[in-house]
Amino acid sequence: MTAPQATTSAPKKRGTTKIRENVPAPGTPEGSYFHYTPEEAALWLPFTARKLRLMAFAREIPHVNNGNKVWFSGLNVRAITEQFTRQPFTKPAPARAAA
């Protein structure tokens, strides 16, 4: 008698999405209006796909809502980057003495 073999077709997990090939960068002219899935946008942002969805549903970040699906255009990805970019602190110039 032989040991049972693992099946090759495992059941698919619900909600898994593949990342498409040849996805343009958000900073390029082609990528400005390209619609990215949260998984694809997560490649360009410091957030996971799940966090991006939660932030979009809470209306914390710009996104495209097409029929209960969250998408991000290249302009959205760039706006999110700007939203979470912190500029270095600069000291204010000392006040002049009144004459």
* Greater pLDDT, 38 or 88: 38
* Greater pLDDT, 12 or 26: 26
pTM, 2 dp:
0.70
Structure tokens at 40: 């694809």
Q: Which domains does the chain have, with CATH numbers?
A: 29-83 (1.10.10)
* Greater pLDDT, 89 or 8: 89
Going by pLDDT thresholds of 50, 70 and 90, the confidence category of residue 90 is: confident
Q: Which of 14, 39, 34, 13 is nearest to 24 (CA)?
A: 34
Structure tokens at 51: 């966090």
- How high does pLDDT run on average in the chain? 83
Q: Is 72 helix (H, G, I), strand (E, B) or coil?
A: strand
What is the tens place of the pLDDT at every residue in 61-81?
999 998 889 999 999 999 999
